[in-house]
Amino acid sequence: MFSLNSIAAFVDAWLNSTFSPATALAFQFIIIGLLAISLFAVLGLVLVLMERKVSAYMQIRLGPNRVGPKGSLQTVADTLKLVSKEGLTPAGADKFLFNLAPFIVMIAAMMLLAPIAFARDFQLWDINIGVLYITSVSSMAVIGILIAGWSSNNKYSLLGAMRSGAQIVSYELSAGLSVITIVLLAGSLSISEIIHSQADGWWIFKGHIPALISFVIFIIAVTAETNRAPFDLAEAESELTAGFHTEYSGMKFALFFLAEYINIFIVCAIGSILFLGGWMPFHIGNWAAFNHIMDYIPSSLWFFGKTFFLIFVIMWFRWTFPRLRIDQLLNLEWKYLLPIGMINLLLAAAVAIGGWHF
Amino acid sequence: MTLTVFYLLSALSVFSGLMVVLSRKAVHSVLYLVFCFFTIAGHYLMLNAQFLAAVHVIVYAGAIMVLFLFVIMMLNLNLAAEAQKTPWIKISAVILSGLMLLVLVASVKGAEELSAAQPQNDIGLVKNIGNILFDKYLLPFELISLLLLSAMVGAVLMGRKEPQPQNE
């Protein structure tokens, strides 16, 4: 049966039998790097196309339909256009920081891939504080955004970066609280243990009300954290031209654009791991036959299916809700989501101590 | 191998620490400070304290430094607008930092036996840190949380809008 784990084990065995352990490790690092970069490229192409097609469908349009069959090569053409453009650096900009910022944002997004389990036993680094690692690395991206906004030496960029920073720092709290709710229920910080604790049912089903509430808070908070509409004040085009990346062009702009979509993928992957069981197949109680059929679907398909479902939900938000004002946005976080999240955490603690989940 | 990494990390943290003081632009100083915090998180990782490393990055590099950046970017400090300092301020700053150095040296001096000890394998696990915090150091922990709470209340009080006098 198709399984990413067996392929990885085969490659590992072959490398170790052919080369010395140190060389094999070096080759594995190179392979992982190449795989991560190609995953990013493919995800960027697929997600941008998906966004355009979903938005077209919701607005009863056709969407891109000229390049390739049904417009499927449109994003490839767009990328080629961006690559061939000149990457300008404004004269008044802080040159080093201006050129550094896109890379910080991309590196933060890349480092987030490490603890994510893409399939059964297919994980780069099973660190014992996986969830905290994700929170800490994702807080790096905001520094990149702030640097981009400040070093552009442009008032729109600075304002966009400020808004983005305020938004990310405040919504990180809610996202963190809802993640902690699941950590409480699962009793572990490690990603693989959280997934294994969902073998008999995903947390969103067996965690009762606390898990449901924290799922809703998580989705809202990560939509805000990735600067997506209805929380895309940081790049509100009618007010700030393009926010913190106003001055960027060519490939440097493309890196920001790519990082935005990669971040959407990663937060949705984390959401599916925490609440929807990651690569765990869907099981219903003791329906042995049904469960057996579900087990036949490869675990990587389960993971990507759940992740893309969550991505679809977030895209759905974008084309459904109007943009919030900055005061409404901060009110929503500090006066509603954060108190609800804290009370919910207490509820979850009661459920976890009482053992009331299934 | 471990020793090489240690020396590399230490050199980086000392270098970035110096650059915090020596850079001319305030924003560069803050960014060097962020980098310094990352290297210190690397030291935590080498001592097998992954939890502390992650929390260090979340709290310092992720939250506090972002607020620093915020304030400094808002003020838009540059060379021309640097405040003129009187000699008295400079002298008192030197005395204060000298006293701080004294305290730091005194605290590091007693830590010789710590450097020789091998890091235990499980010292950085969340469970052990939780047990120590909520058992041995429960009182200081609660006092610190009270202190933070009062600071937060004070900040909210200061940031609150004054009630407007009602005029007809």
Q: Where are the domains of chain A?
A: 1-84, 86-354
How far is the C-alpha of B153 from the C-alpha of B142, rounded, in Å? 16
- Give the pLDDT confidence of A54-99 residue by residue, as tens digits: 888 888 888 888 887 887 888 888 888 888 887 777 777 778 888 8
Q: Is A129 in CB contact (< 8 Å) with chain B?
A: yes
| β-sheet bridge partners, residue A119 | A122
CB pairs under 8 A between A and B: 70
Contact between A172 and B62 using a beta-carbon 8 Å cutoff: yes
User: If you search the block for the tokens 């890379």, which residue do you land on?
Assistant: A103
Instruction: Write the CB contacts of B96 (distance below 8 Å, at least 6 apart in sequence).
Output: none
Burial of residue B22 (number of CB atoms within 10 Å: 0-12, 13-18, 19+): exposed
φ, ψ dihedrals at A321, nearest 5°: -100, 140
φ, ψ dihedrals at A122, nearest 5°: -120, 90
Q: Is B65 in CB contact (< 8 Å) with chain A?
A: yes
DSSP state of A101: H
pLDDT, position B101: 92
How far is the C-alpha of A233 from the C-alpha of A227, rounded, in Å? 7
Q: Is B66 in CB contact (< 8 Å) with chain A?
A: yes
- Give the pLDDT confidence of B84-124 residue by residue, as tens digits: 678 888 899 899 999 999 998 888 877 666 554 455 566 66
pLDDT, position B76: 64
Tell me if residue B108 falls in helix, strand or coil.
helix
Contact between B62 and A189 using a beta-carbon 8 Å cutoff: no
Instruction: Please work out, in degrees rounded to the nearest 5, the angle formed at the alpha carbon of residue B118 by the alpha carbons of B112 and B121.
Output: 140
Instruction: Write the CB contacts of A121 (distance below 8 Å, at least 6 apart in sequence).
Output: A5
Residues of chain A found within 8 Å of residue B62, distances taken between Cβ atoms: 136, 139-140, 142, 169, 172
Helices (H), A187-207: 191-196, 203-206
Task: Tell me the two tokens of residue A187.
Answer: 């009793």
Residue A280 CB neighbours (<10 A): 23
Contact, A112 vs A134, CB < 8 A? yes
Q: Is B49 in CB contact (< 8 Å) with chain A?
A: no
- State how far residue B56 is from chain A, nearest Cα, in angstroms: 8
Mean pLDDT on A98-109: 86
Task: Tell me the two tokens of residue A249.
Answer: 């062009």
Mean pLDDT on A283-303: 79
Alpha-carbon torsion angle A167, A173, A174, A175, nearest 10: 90
Among A125, A107, A127, which residue's Cα sits nearest to residue B50? A127
> What share of chain A in percent tops pLDDT 90?
4
Contact, A244 vs A148, CB < 8 A? yes
> What share of chain A in percent tops pLDDT 70?
97
- Give the pLDDT confidence of A318-349 residue by residue, as tens digits: 888 888 877 888 888 888 988 999 999 998 88
Helices (H), chain A: 4-18, 21-58, 74-84, 95-111, 130-138, 141-151, 155-186, 191-196, 203-206, 208-225, 237-240, 250-275, 288-296, 299-318, 326-331, 338-354
Task: Tell me the two tokens of residue A329.
Answer: 């946005």
Burial of residue A22 (number of CB atoms within 10 Å: 0-12, 13-18, 19+): exposed
- State how far residue A331 is from chain B, nearest Cα, in angstroms: 14
| β-sheet bridge partners, residue A122 | A119
- Give the pLDDT confidence of B144-168 residue by residue, as tens digits: 999 999 998 998 888 877 766 666 5
Lowest mean pLDDT among A205-209, B48-52, B77-81, B128-132: B77-81
Contact between B27 and A150 using a beta-carbon 8 Å cutoff: yes
pLDDT, position B147: 94
How far is the C-alpha of B122 from the C-alpha of A133, rounded, in Å? 17
Tell me if residue A118 falls in helix, strand or coil.
strand
How far is the C-alpha of A7 from the C-alpha of A1, rounded, in Å? 11
In angstroms and rounded to an integer, the radius of gyration of the C-alpha atoms of chain B is: 21
Sign of CA dihedral B87, B90, B94, B99: positive
pLDDT, position A343: 92
How far is the C-alpha of A142 from the C-alpha of A134, rounded, in Å? 14
Q: Is B75 in CB contact (< 8 Å) with chain A?
A: no
pLDDT, position B64: 84
pLDDT > 60? residue A305: yes
Q: Is B26 in CB contact (< 8 Å) with chain A?
A: no
- State how far residue B89 is from chain A, nearest Cα, in angstroms: 30
Q: What is the mean pLDDT of chain B?
A: 81
- State how far residue A343 is from chain B, nearest Cα, in angstroms: 18
Instruction: Please work out, in degrees rounded to the nearest 5, the angle formed at the alpha carbon of residue A117 by the alpha carbons of A295 and A202.
Output: 55
Cis peptide before A90 (omega within 30 of 0): no
Task: Tell me the two tokens of residue A257.
Answer: 């654009």
pLDDT, position A237: 67
Identify from B55, B58, B126, B128 which residue to disrupt to test chain A contact, counting A C-beta atoms within 10 A and taking the largest count: B58
Residue B15 pLDDT class (50, 70, 90 cuts): very high
How far is the C-alpha of B102 from the C-alpha of B97, rounded, in Å? 9
DSSP state of A325: P
